[in-house]
Each structure stands twice: as structure tokens, then as C-alpha cells.
Amino acid sequence: MAVLDRAAIPTVLDLGIGNTPLLRISRPDLPGSVEVHAKAEWVNPGGSVKDRPAARMVLAALASGAFRPTMTLLDSTSGNTGIAYAWLGAKLGFPVRLAVPASIGAERRRILEAYGARLDLTDPLEGSDGAMHEARRILKEDPAAYFYPNQYDNPENWRAHYDTTGPEVLEQTAGLVTHFVAGLGTTGTFRGTAARLKEARPGLRAVSVQPDSPLHGLEGLKHLATAAVPGIHDPALADAELTVSTDEARAAAREAARADGLLLGPSGGANLAAALRVARAEAEAGRAAVVVTVFPDSGERYLGERWWREG
């Protein structure tokens, strides 16, 4: 592992993060006046949308001195943010310790371990909230030893999307985007991107997406009515709220593989299902629309899960 050097702190662009492709999704029932597009976030070096906020939180803390070379990065994660922390730690030279639900998929666990992250496995029934509580318990035991980014409450999370994802969508759609659809986990992607798009396009409709029940299989998403609500969440940004079932999201992911040649994770399937729902409603109303969503990661991280063989 390299030695962390605050005098040589890179930028997000130096790390190769962002400027991900915008892919068009076609369906036979959608007229040409209604478009659906999605950001392919698996192109980021860590393989997910979480590279954006993770790098922003780490680099901001290094620049301010809140994260010092003697400290270990500690946070909770359901997988992708942890992977982003882990590869950043390997590249920049800091140790990483993560509280992770024991139900994490084998592929994501192997990636974390390959990067050298230390994992504290938590009760799978408590999900991401249980992992968050464990990270805070560890922090309380020795606060001087850790830098705790606290992805759920850190404003650098959503600012990363305000400064990168939002402007990219505007450029890639030539400013014609009419709807932005995204799932809520930490809520950073939705808040930052929607805020930036609404500034540029005051008529834009932002649609948030959540699982339809507390017990769900949509990794990375939260059922906010029954979960700890992230401190960065801004519910006022959503013009509409949609819920997606685990089965619907998985079916959308399987359809994307067979109809579009795209491997999506469960949250990408949920975002696609919701975006198509929005697009079809606009088509039925006879309105033109450019609907943009986010594919947070690749389905390659979930191929060991049984649902791929269903349907």
C-alpha cells in the first residue's frame, strides 16, 4: 500500500471518476417522442456510482485535515460505497474498516477483501441501519483512530452529484432532459442531481424511487418509512414518489440483459422499471419526454444470486 501524502492529493478527475456514458433504452411501446436514458455508472474505476461521493468525501477530508495519515477510514455500507472506499484506500494509502450486513453478496465481499478492507459483519435482518449502528459503536470506542465519513449525513455526498452527475446529464441530453428518476439509499444521487437539473430546467420533474416494503431485496435502496432517514435527504425535491417491488426490479434487470444487452444490479432494475413507468405515462398522455435515470452498478456483482435464474 502506498503512503498517504496530503501534499499530493489528487482530484476526482485525476482518479478517472465521472463522465460516464448515457445509454438510450428502447422499448417497442414507446414512441420516438419519448426517450429513456440511463447513466452507466459501472464505468467508474470502482465499478459504481458510489465512486463519486466516496472520492468527494475522502478528498475533502484530506484537504481540510479532518482525515489524517494516522487514521483508518471507518463507515457502514451495503457494498458499493465500501468498495469505493476500499479501492481509494488501496490507491491513496489508508486503511479501511467497514461495517457490512452479513447478507452482502459473495461477489461484493470478495472485491472488498481483495482491496484489503477489514469487514465487521452485522445482523442481516438489521440491514444497512444495523451496519450504521455498528460503525458508530466502533467509532465511539476510539474516535481518534478513525475518520468517519458518515455517508448518510455528509453533504459532500450529494454535492458530488450536484457538481458532476447533474452537469453531465445536462450536457449529454443537450439540456433537453424533462424527468430525472432515481432510487433513494443515502439519497445523495437523487438530491444532488435533481437539485442541479432543476436549477437549469425549472420545469423538470424529479421522481424518487423506493422499495415497496421494509423487507426487500433491492440492495442499496431504503424503505424510508421504516428505516433511519439520512440526514442529507431533502424530500421537497421530489415531484413524485414511486415504489417498486423486488420482483419488478429483478424482472426489469433480467429484461435489460435479454433486450438491451445490459447487466444491471437490483437498484438499476428498480430505476429502469420506474423510468419506464414514467415514460409510458408521458406517452399515454401524448407528451414528449426525455427521461433520465441512473444504473448504479453492473449486474456482474450479483450473478451468484438465484433470482437471475428465475423468470
Q: What is the mean pLDDT of each run of 10 residues along the chain (311 residues)?
A: 57 86 96 97 97 96 91 92 96 95 89 96 88 94 95 95 97 98 97 98 97 90 92 97 96 96 96 98 97 96 88 64
Which segments of 123-257 are extended strands (E)?
A: 146-147, 179-183, 205-211, 240-244
How would you class 103 by CB atoms within 10 Å of its CB: exposed for 0-12, middle for 13-18, buried for 19 or more? middle
Rounded to whole angstroms, the Cα distance separating 268 from 275 reads: 10
List domains and CATH numbers for the chain.
Answer: 16-49+158-309 (3.40.50.1100), 51-147 (3.40.50.1100)
Task: Report the 10 Å Cβ neighbour count for 307.
Answer: 17
Catalytic residues: 50, 267
| Confidence (pLDDT) at 211 | 96
Alpha-carbon span 60 to 143, nearest angstrom? 19
- Give the pLDDT confidence score for residue 5 in this predicted structure: 60
Q: Which residue has the cell 439509499?
A: 185
Please say whether the beta carbons of 186 and 157 come within 8 A: yes
Q: What is the pLDDT of residue 78?
A: 80
pLDDT of 2: 47
| pLDDT score for 7 | 55
Task: Please spell the DSSP secondary structure of 98-165, one letter per residue.
Answer: EEEETT--HHHHHHHHHTT-EEEEE-GGGHHHHHHHHHHHHHHH-GGGEE---TTT-HHHHHHIIIII
